[in-house]
Amino acid sequence: MAAYVNPGPARPGAHGTIHREVSPEQQAVEQRLVDSVVSSFDACEDPRLKELMVCLVKHLHSFIREARPTEDEWGAAIDFLTRAGHITDDVRQEFILLSDTLGASMQTINVNNQAYKGATEATVFGPFFVEDSPGIELGEDMAFGAPGEPCWVEGTVTDTDGNPLAGARIEVWEADEDGLYDVQYDAGKRAGRAHLFSAADGGYRFWGLTPTPYPIPDDGPVGKMLDAVGRSPLRAAHLHFMVSHQAARTLVTHIFPEGDPIGREDTVFGVKDSLIKRFERQPGGTPTPDGRAIDGTWSRVRFDIVLAPAGI
């Protein structure tokens, strides 16, 4: 990274930031510190770790030298991170929320899941995945009693040449109609999540819930940050997928209902046009694909999943 350049007299920045004049002598003092910290990693034997630390230091110091926070402001930032640590536990991960709401999670996804021949796009993982989801058979219900409108989800899993991928593991999870995941009720509860495997023809199908918008947990420091800057904590309605196969790159993604009023204002920047799907609401009494009797409305959606090759 190039050395910090004197921005000149105080003037409004592109986003209203006030750039302050910094003398050449002061710039030299600040640059010497950057150089000293960077050189402190010279003995690091892990080249990737060294690269990461040097890049982090350069960007961090660049931020400090541009924004020029007061010591009280820097102390407030440290306090914010401390409070994020205190509220984090086995269920609540405030640092993931912070990463998500700053767009850092989505940018990391973009960097690590480059476009390849029509492969399904990836999006954020979110803080509510758990490892021990129950297994279901094709066509079974992953809601396990969670409240909400039933939704029939079906599709195929193929590679980018259109070949079906049999035995792909499909993890699915979502919030209920009250906007809560199972683990927000009870760390040991399992509802609104499951895993299943694609059939020989790559097909899959299951019952879930029609997704609805909900707020991220906003009773902690991240929620207070969003409120302070005038941002909504609402996530666009979505259904999570994680799809893995030995011949393919693991995909973490969501699908989003067409016409959701939250849409592009999703607080974690996860919505992509290719992932917006039509959830077709069915009137009460409409026959279901598997003959299930439903008292009231239900919806259905098709999501065909295309996995990039492993190693891409």
Sorted by where each begins, the domain ranges of the chain are 11-85, 104-307
Q: How far apart are CA 112 and CA 132, in angstroms?
A: 25
- What lies within 8 Å, CB to CB, of 193 at 6+ separation is 130, 133, 134, 142, 171, 172, 173, 174, 181, 182
| DSSP three-state, residue 73 | helix
| Residues 6 or more apart in contact with residue 239 via CB below 8 angstroms | 151, 153, 172, 174, 208, 211, 254, 255
Report the predicted TM-score, pTM, of the whole model to 2 decimal places: 0.86
Block residue for tokens 């003398």: 23
Q: Mean of the pLDDT values across residues 219-243?
A: 97
CA distance 22 to 265: 37
Q: Who's near 69: CB < 8 A, 6+ residues apart? A: 77
- On the question of pLDDT at 11 being above 90, the answer is no
User: What token pair was written down for 79?
Assistant: 């306090």
Q: Per-residue pLDDT tens for 51-92?
A: 999 999 999 999 999 999 999 999 999 999 999 999 998 878
- d(CA 27, CA 30) in angstroms, rounded, equals 5
Q: Are 202 and 277 in contact (CB under 8 A)?
A: no
- Look at residue 2 in the predicted model and tell me its pLDDT: 39
pLDDT tens sequence across 136-164: 999 999 999 999 999 999 999 999 999 99
Mean pLDDT of 218-235: 97
Strand-pairing partners, residue 282, are: 298
pLDDT, tens digit, 9 for 90 and up, residues 163-215: 999 999 999 999 999 999 999 898 888 999 999 999 999 999 999 999 999 99
Encoded tokens for 137: 């058979």
Give CA–CA dist 50/6, Å, rounded.
Answer: 28
pLDDT of residue 227 exceeding 70:
yes
Q: 89 or 226: whose pLDDT is higher?
A: 226
Q: How far is CA 149 from CA 176, 240, 284, in A?
A: 9, 17, 11
pLDDT band at 8 (very low <50, low <70, confident <90, very high): very low
H or E stretch at 159? strand 150-159
Class in CATH terms, 104-307: mainly beta
Kindly state the average pLDDT of the residues 204-229: 96
C-beta separation of 16 from 66 below 8 A = no
